């Protein structure tokens, strides 16, 4: 029976020859992931079961990243729960201040997730790893607790929806713009409990970082997972990095899809999602009259070295507008180090930005850039719901790193081509 790449991964992990959309399957997990918000609840449930030991100490990954370094007593206690549990269970991989990064940047970088894997995590943006050709999805903390004990979970096989992107994108446009444009077309419930499969020459031309960004925001369209079938670009990424055997799977040519969307993205402008939904999207040329107070570059969506390079290209030799606060948050310590080595950090500091240690920080309204009443921020994050980054009467505009950097310079939403005049 022909199958999509998502169906093939689920079949392999269910020990079945084939699976069908709508079928309930019990699957073996390659990675079980929690963070400092969700894992404490899972740990309490795990201990209540009396399971004793986790199923595999090398496959249970706990990353303290949302409120670390801790911002208050409560967040310190949350992080301590992870730290103590990791010690008791003798988990193979442990991260803390100085080694931890934003979880969905950290795990791909360290080779802990890869093609053909099945990953669950108590974080909705676990779907990020589909950019490497994995099936990855978010679960609740109680499901996480069961998987920590058993190494298994149950899933309903999702229908797959194919998104084909034709053409070549421009120098200021990337994976963030492709996914924002897509969500703008189909809506925040346009792929509800479905697999969003991204393909076409524009996607094939993206770096792994760009693909991770697209898969990351699949959940903003209600999807169960987002995925890009692995190719040579993926192979180059995982070689010498991934710590387990990989499976390069692809959809069969005659696989069945619930729907197929085709986009010609040649000449696609950078996209901006206006408050208060990721689907409220318009091209940047129709967004230039919005004054901003803050710009944030980072997060599990756009905190990788490619993103910082793009922002630095816009900011080089320029100053942040006096009425704007620019916050740059590298996704991992390795990204931070690389930004230092390449001189990117100097560009940010010379421009007047604040550069943070890796953390989720302001993305979820945690800290390191909370908005006051009436303030507006352009951010490379993934959600702009009411109150997402602070006061319920503040506003968040989602965009790529070049747009965020250009906006920081101009004091309003801006097209990077306004600032870097000699670029294509």
Per-residue pLDDT band for 219 (boundaries 50, 70, 90) equals very high
Is residue 19 included in any domain, yes or no? yes
Same domain membership, residue 208 and residue 353: no
Local structure of residue 278 (DSSP, 8 states): T
Residue 273 has φ and ψ, to the nearest 5°, of: -95, 120
- The answer to whether residue 242 scores a pLDDT higher than 90 is no
To 10 degrees, what angle do helices 344-351 and 305-315 make?
A: 50
Is residue 160 included in any domain, yes or no? yes
Same domain membership, residue 148 and residue 251: yes
Strand partners, 161: 196, 259
Same domain membership, residue 185 and residue 40: yes
What whole-number distance in Å separates Cα of residue 142 and Cα of residue 147? Answer: 9
Averaged pLDDT, 364-391: 94
Helix (H) or strand (E) holding 175: helix 175-186
Is residue 424 included in any domain, yes or no? no
What whole-number distance in Å separates Cα of residue 187 and Cα of residue 257? Answer: 19
Residue ending a domain, choose from 263, 294, 316: 263
Same domain membership, residue 96 and residue 200: yes
Cα angle, residue 18 at apex, residues 12 and 23 outer, rounded to 5° = 100
Any alpha helices (H) in 24-89, and if so which ranges? 39-49, 73-89
| Alpha-carbon separation of residue 184 from 178, 201, 217 (angstroms) | 10, 21, 12
Per-residue confidence (pLDDT) for residue 373, from 0 to 100: 97
208, two tokens:
């792994």
**340-358: pLDDT as tens digits:** 999 999 999 999 999 999 9
Q: Which domain holds residue 307?
A: 271-419
Averaged pLDDT, 32-59: 95
Per-residue confidence (pLDDT) for residue 245, from 0 to 100: 87
- The answer to whether residue 118 scores a pLDDT higher than 70 is yes
Averaged pLDDT, 268-293: 96
Per-residue pLDDT band for 106 (boundaries 50, 70, 90) equals very high
Is residue 41 included in any domain, yes or no? yes
- The answer to whether residue 424 scores a pLDDT higher than 60 is no
Strand partners, 295: 326, 378
Is residue 44 included in any domain, yes or no? yes
| Alpha-carbon separation of residue 217 from 61, 77, 129, 135 (angstroms) | 22, 30, 11, 14
> Domains in the chain: how many in total?
2
- Kindly provide the residue ranges of all beta strands, DSSP E only, lying in 113-228, ordered along the sequence: 118-121, 135-138, 152-156, 159-166, 194-199, 225-227
Residue ending a domain, choose from 263, 295, 310: 263
- The answer to whether residue 107 scores a pLDDT higher than 60 is yes
Same domain membership, residue 275 and residue 255: no
What whole-number distance in Å separates Cα of residue 331 and Cα of residue 100? Answer: 9
- CATH classification at residue 366: 3.30.499.10
- Can you count the helices (H) and strands (E) in the chain? 15, 17
Same domain membership, residue 277 and residue 337: yes
Neighbours of 146 (CB within 10 A): 20
Same domain membership, residue 275 and residue 259: no
Same domain membership, residue 259 and residue 385: no
Q: Which residue has the tokens 């020459």?
A: 201
- Kindly provide the residue ranges of all beta strands, DSSP E only, lying in 305-357, ordered along the sequence: 325-328, 354-355
Strand partners, 326: 295
Name the least confident of 62-66, 71-75, 133-137, 420-424. 420-424
Per-residue pLDDT band for 158 (boundaries 50, 70, 90) equals very high
Same domain membership, residue 275 and residue 258: no
**171-205: pLDDT as tens digits:** 899 999 999 999 999 999 999 999 999 999 999 99
Contacts of 409 (CB under 8 A, 6+ apart): 314, 315, 318, 319, 320, 321, 351, 419
Find the length of the chain. 424
Same domain membership, residue 294 and residue 403: yes
Same domain membership, residue 314 and residue 255: no
- The answer to whether residue 392 scores a pLDDT higher than 80 is yes
What whole-number distance in Å separates Cα of residue 235 and Cα of residue 262? Answer: 26
Per-residue pLDDT band for 422 (boundaries 50, 70, 90) equals low
Same domain membership, residue 220 and residue 293: no
- The answer to whether residue 295 scores a pLDDT higher than 70 is yes
- State the average pLDDT for the chain: 96
Local structure of residue 258 (DSSP, 8 states): S
Residue ending a domain, choose from 263, 289, 306: 263
């Amino acid at each position: 029976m022909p199958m999509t790449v998502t169906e093939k991964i689920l079949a392999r992990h269910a020990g079945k020859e084939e699976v069908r959309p709508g079928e309930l399957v019990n699957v073996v997990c390659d990675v079980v992931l929690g963070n400092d918000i969700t894992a404490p609840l899972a740990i309490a449930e795990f201990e209540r079961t009396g399971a004793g030991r986790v199923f595999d100490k090398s496959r249970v990954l706990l990353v303290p990243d949302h409120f670390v370094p801790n911002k208050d007593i409560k967040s310190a206690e949350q992080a301590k729960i992870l730290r103590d549990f990791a010690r008791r269970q003798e988990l193979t991989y442990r991260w803390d201040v100085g080694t931890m990064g934003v979880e969905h940047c950290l795990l791909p970088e360290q080779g802990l997730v890869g093609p053909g894997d099945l990953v669950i995590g108590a974080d909705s943006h676990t779907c990020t790893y589909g950019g490497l050709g994995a099936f990855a999805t978010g679960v609740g903390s109680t499901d996480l607790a069961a998987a920590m004990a058993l190494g298994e979970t149950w899933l309903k096989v999702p229908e797959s929806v194919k998104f084909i992107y034709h053409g070549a994108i421009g120098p200021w446009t990337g994976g963030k713009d492709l996914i924002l444009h897509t969500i703008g077309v189909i809506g925040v419930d346009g792929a509800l409990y479905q697999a969003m499969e991204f393909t076409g020459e524009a996607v094939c031309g993206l770096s792994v970082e760009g693909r991770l960004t697209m898969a990351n925001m699949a959940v903003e369209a209600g999807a169960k997972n987002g995925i890009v079938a692995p190719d040579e670009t993926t192979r180059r990424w995982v070689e010498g990095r991934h710590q387990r055997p990989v499976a390069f799977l692809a959809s069969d040519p005659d696989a069945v899809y619930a729907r197929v969307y085709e986009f010609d993205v040649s000449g696609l402008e950078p996209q901006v999602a206006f408050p208060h939904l990721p689907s409220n999207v318009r091209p940047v040329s129709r967004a230039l009259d919005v004054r901003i107070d803050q710009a944030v570059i980072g997060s599990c969506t756009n905190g990788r070295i490619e993103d910082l390079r793009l922002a630095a290209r816009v900011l080089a030799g320029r100053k942040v507008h006096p009425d704007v606060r620019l916050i740059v948050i590298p996704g991992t310590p390795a990204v931070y180090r690389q930004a230092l080595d390449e001189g990117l950090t100097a560009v940010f500091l010379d421009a007047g930005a604040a550069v943070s240690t890796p953390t989720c920080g302001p993305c979820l309204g945690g800290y390191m850039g909370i908005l006051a009443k009436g303030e507006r921020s352009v951010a490379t994050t993934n959600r702009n719901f009411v109150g997402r980054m602070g006061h319920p009467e503040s506003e968040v505009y989602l965009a790529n790193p070049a747009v965020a950097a250009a906006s920081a310079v101009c004091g309003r939403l801006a097209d990077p081509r306004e600032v870097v005049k000699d670029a294509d």
